[in-house]
């Protein structure tokens, strides 16, 4: 569900509430209406209430630390025979900052990013998953890459609480001419069995949640992938 849809849904739920309240009050005044008809009306009103509750559950935000820790734990186990360190740092504030994700897609994305880093570190290496929360300050340089989305949905001048997830590795890095193509469908480089779907899928999902993903890399030194979620 993209941010626009979520925002429209929220508006819709808000708009339905007042006519529904009127119906609920009127129902109590309908003494002359036969019981059967009152039951029908009551069932219909209850059903609308249920739909509202279901929608609210769908657009609820999620806190991510436990999800990240469980994926990192699985990956450490998967790569336990390789001399690779996977560190994980989570700033305390992140535990209090829910963000828009779909849990199973998010797990898949993180798992692929860790795989990519491990695959780029032929032999030994270090990899770090760091998560911190930050306030989107529209005047700061780093907020440029968040484009207008976050501002648009909160009103100009409003500050937003964002989560940044950085995956850094000491792998082989990425040639500058290849870097802009990596999020295209089927873009795979230097892998025998690569399908080139991991980053493509990541970009699609993250942008659908109103977030951003970016990569910076230096050949021979390593790579940093940053995901920003709102």
Ligand X SMILES: Nc1ncnc2c1ncn2[C@@H]1O[C@H](COP(=O)(O)OP(=O)(O)OP(=O)(O)O)[C@@H](O)[C@H]1O
Binding mask 184-203 for Mg ion (x = CB under 5 A): --------------x-----
Instruction: Please answer whether residues 38 and 27 qualify as being in contact, where contact means their C-beta atoms are separated by less than 8 angstroms.
Output: yes
The reply on whether position 198 binds ligand X by CB under 6 A is yes
Tally the residues of the chain: 230
> 3-state secondary structure string, 29-72?
HCCCCCHHHHHHHHHHHHHHHHHHHHHHHHCCCECCHHHHHHHH
112 belongs to the binding site for Mg ion (CB under 5 A): yes
Q: Please list every residue from 142 through 171 that binds Mg ion, using CB under 5 A.
A: none
Cα–Cα distance for residue pair 196/68, rounded to 1 Å: 23
Please give the residues from 120 up to 149 whose contact with ligand X meets the rule CB under 6 A: 120
Among ligand X, Mg ion, none, what binds residue 136 when CB lies within 5 to 8 Å by partner kind? none
Which of 188, 204, 207, 226 binds ligand X (CB under 6 A)? It is 188
Q: Is-contact 131 163, C-beta < 8 A?
A: yes
Please tell me the distance from the alpha carbon of residue 169 to that of residue 189, in angstroms, as a whole number: 17
User: According to the binding rule CB under 6 A, does residue 191 interact with ligand X?
Assistant: yes
User: CB of 104: closest distance to ligand X in angstroms?
Assistant: 16
User: Which of 100, 162, 223, 228: binder of ligand X (CB under 6 A)?
Assistant: 223
| Site membership for ligand X, residue 171 (CB under 6 A) | yes
């Amino acid at each position: 569900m993209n941010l626009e849809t979520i925002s429209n849904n929220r508006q819709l739920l808000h708009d339905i509430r007042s006519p529904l309240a009127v119906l609920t009050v009127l129902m109590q005044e309908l003494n002359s209406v036969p019981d059967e008809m009152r039951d029908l009306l009551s069932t219909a009103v209850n059903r609308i209430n249920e739909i509202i509750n279901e929608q609210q559950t769908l657009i609820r935000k999620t806190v991510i630390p436990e999800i990240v820790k469980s994926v990192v734990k699985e990956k450490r186990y998967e790569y336990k025979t390789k001399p690779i360190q996977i560190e994980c740092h989570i700033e305390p504030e992140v535990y209090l900052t829910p963000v828009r994700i779909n849990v199973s897609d998010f797990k898949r994305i993180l798992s692929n990013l860790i795989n990519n880093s491990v695959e780029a570190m032929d032999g030994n290496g270090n990899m770090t998953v760091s998560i911190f929360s930050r306030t989107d300050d529209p005047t700061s340089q780093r907020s440029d890459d968040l484009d207008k989305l976050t501002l648009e949905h909160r009103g100009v001048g409003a500050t937003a609480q964002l989560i940044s997830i950085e995956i850094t590795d000491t792998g082989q890095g990425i040639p500058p001419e290849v870097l802009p193509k990596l999020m295209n469908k089927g873009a795979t480089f230097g892998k025998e069995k690569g399908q080139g779907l991991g980053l493509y899928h990541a970009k699609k999902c993250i942008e659908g949640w109103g977030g951003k993903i970016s990569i910076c890399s230096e050949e021979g030194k390593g790579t940093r992938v940053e995901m920003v979620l709102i």
